[in-house]
Structure 1
Amino acid sequence: MKKQTILPILLLLVSCAQTTTLRNGYSKAPTKSKVFKNSVYFEQAILDQIDTTVIYEEYNDNYYEGLVKQENVLARHNYANRHTTYGVYRFYGNGCFNLFHLDRDKPELTAEMFDPAYTGWRGVLYKKKNKILGDMFTQTGQMGWQLGKQTEAFIFRGDTLIVELKNVHKFFYIKRHIDKKLLEHHAEW
């Protein structure tokens, strides 16, 4: 084999060895804590802005159908969008967080949907230059199989969470109270 072929295969094998499959059978999580090395910059004061007893669910504020801008709506109510999955953030008191994906076609919520040992992308919060940032282990490539660390900026304004990626894309999430029994899981990474 040529060196150009061996190197990408080797990199793929090495990156696969650094993850573990969660209990749902397909979600991946890193096995090495160095992915979350910025957790040492977590400050307890960050939690003054965050409600750790709720989820923050995706809000579609710029969905277009054809050339017509649709009404702003929570993603779980956006039946004009053919994609039925939507994201929800869950924050923990120790600075860890998860991004879970729910399906509006399955409206009954279960504790398993919010179990970080079962599903979800993992992340840690920290403060840098007076900004609340989060490093999340997630899909980083267009193809869906590339996994890595993605840094996000979090802005909390009342019941609204704004997630900013690379100062370009902004995503909005709205606080949603759900049964506390669904959120009794703990996160340690």
Structure 2
Amino acid sequence: MKLLQKPFIIYLNLPLLMLTGCYSLVKLSDHDVTTNDPKAFKNISKFSIALTSQIDTNAIYKECCSLFTLESSLFGFAKVSKHEFYNRTDGYVNYYRFYGNGHCNSFMLKANQKNLNRHDFDPTRTGHRGVYYIDKKGNVKVDLFTQIGELSSLRSSFGIRTETLTFNGDTIFLNRGDDNYSSVYIKMKVQDEIQQIKGW
């Protein structure tokens, strides 16, 4: 099964890798990078304010677990209802923050970090930037400017990774479309100093 999937994944990633040279990179103070190239976030034109009725722009969404796609579609929402978070093998956990203007950010923090502060979620200093929108088929998508390809090889570069979002209450499922897993995020309320961050 893996032998059949691997060439398919490489085929999907190659066009993205060729595009990364078209983007100028901007280094943030916490060593993350982004781009100011409007072409990277061209789908912001498809943003609908109606999405903010499904996504809480005053909260952050913390990575909870990963589910096989079949589980995600059939019983995944119930499976994560207890909000049982897990530690990734690399010792980090991902967070998403969505803003009311169609922009969003992905932030990677240490899994054992107990106190979250404004600095951790300041998009002018850290994180990966993206936009969320509705595509022509009515699906909710996220375009995230991030590291793509094989992270430990020379094929790793920066470009746009597109993910599909599905919702159920305080739960978000993110699927990249090039694998069989969905990442599950649970909404978390945060202190006022983080809520007040206007985004980018």
Give the alignment's TM-score, normalised by structure 2: 0.75
Aligned mate of 2:158, from 139, 147, 162 = 147
Letter in 1 for 2:112: D
Within 2, Cα distance between the matches of 1:162 and 1:186? 24
Q: Does 1:123 align with 2:130?
A: yes
Distance change (3 Å), C-alpha of 1:35 and 1:180: same
Q: Does 1:92 align with 2:78?
A: no
Give runs of aligned pairs for residues 28-39 of structure 1, distance below 5 A: 28-39=33-44
Aligned mate of 2:29, from 18, 23, 30 = 23
Please state whether the residue corresponding to 1:39 is helix, strand or coil: helix
Within 1, Cα distance between the matches of 2:23 and 2:134? 30
Q: Which structure would you say has the larger Rg?
A: 1
- The answer to whether the 8 A contact 1:89-1:99 is kept is yes
Aligned mate of 1:56, from 55, 61, 67 = 61
Question: How far has the Cα of 1:104 moved from its partner?
Answer: 2.3
- Alignment gaps of 5+ in structure 1: 1-10, 63-70
Question: How far has the Cα of 1:16 moved from its partner?
Answer: 8.7
Q: How many residues align?
A: 165
Q: RMSD value over aligned CA atoms?
A: 2.4
- The answer to whether the 8 A contact 1:55-1:177 is kept is yes
Aligned mate of 1:103, from 99, 105, 110 = 110
- The answer to whether the 8 A contact 1:61-1:72 is kept is no
Question: How far has the Cα of 1:186 moved from its partner?
Answer: 1.9
- Alignment gaps of 5+ in structure 2: 1-16, 68-81
Distance change (3 Å), C-alpha of 1:17 and 1:94: closer
Q: Which has the higher contact order (CA 8 A, sep 6+)?
A: 2
Letter in 2 for 1:153: T
The structure whose residues are more often helix, as a share, is 2
- The answer to whether the 8 A contact 1:58-1:86 is kept is yes
- The answer to whether the 8 A contact 1:39-1:124 is kept is yes
Question: How far has the Cα of 1:102 moved from its partner?
Answer: 1.3
Please state whether the residue corresponding to 2:63 is helix, strand or coil: strand
